[in-house]
Amino acid sequence: MFVKYFSKTLVALISIFSSSCLLDAAKPWQMNFQDPATPISEGIINFHNHIMFFLFMVVIFVSWLMFRGLYLFNETSGSKAEKWTHSTILEIVWTIIPAIILAVIAIPSFSLLFSMDEIIDPAITLKVVAHQWYWSYEFSDYSSLNGGESLNFDSYMIAEEDLIGGGLRLLEVDNRVVLPIKTHIRILITSADVLHSWAVPSFGVKVDACPGRLNQTSVFIKRIGV
C-alpha cells in the first residue's frame, strides 16, 4: 500500500512540473514521457514509475551508508572499525533483499514484454518500407477499392525552410499516415537499403527496419492525435 501511494505521489509531483510537456511531440526541457496513445505506451509509463520507487529507495539507502561511513570513520573522527570479516546473517540479508527487489521488478516487466509481443487478429495491416530520407507506406487490405491495386504512398520530410507556422521541425512530412482509433492494427516494417528505425513515442513503438527482414508490431490507438 505504501509503495503504491508513494509511486502515485511521485508521479503527481512530476506531472505538476511537466504538465506543459505532455504532448505528441518533444518540447524544450521536457521532463516526462509524451502523452500515451496506446495501452502499450501506458504500460511502459506505469512500469517506469514502478521502477522509480525502488531506484529512489536504493539510491537513498546507499548514499546514507556512504556518507555515514565517510563521516564516522574518517581519519579525524577517532572511531575504530570492527575487525570482523564474516557475517552469515549479513550475507543472507544482502542476498535475499536484492533478490526480492529484482523479483518485484521482473514480474510486471515480463507481463509488459508478453503484451508487447502478443499478436491479435488485426483489422488493418500497414506495411512500412524505409528508404534513405523518406518512408513508403502501403495498405494492402483495401486493394479491391482501387482497381485491384493496394493503397500506397511515399512520405517525405518537409525541409525546415518550407515549414508553415506551427510545423514541427524534422517531424513534419508531406503525406501523413492516417490510422483509425480503437482498431487493432498490424504494422510490418522493412527496409529497402540500409538500417532504419520506425518509432512513434506516443505509441510506445520503436522497431528496426532491416533490409531483407520483415519485423512486426501491433498497436491499438485509444485517442485522436497527430
Instruction: Report the SS3 class of residue 193.
Output: coil
Instruction: Read off the pTM.
Output: 0.75
Residue 85 has pLDDT above 60, yes or no: yes
Grid cell for residue 76: 579525524
Cα dist from 121 to 37, 108, 110, 113, 219, whole Å:
20, 24, 22, 18, 11
Query: Is the CB of residue 204 less than 8 Å from the CB of residue 43?
Result: yes
Among 133, 140, 186, 125, CA closest to 155: 133
Phi, psi of 72 (to 5 degrees): -85, -25
- Kindly report which listed range (7-11, 77-81, 110-114, 189-193) carries the lowest average pLDDT score: 7-11
pLDDT at res. 46: 93
Phi, psi of 155 (to 5 degrees): -125, 115
State the average pLDDT for the chain. 82
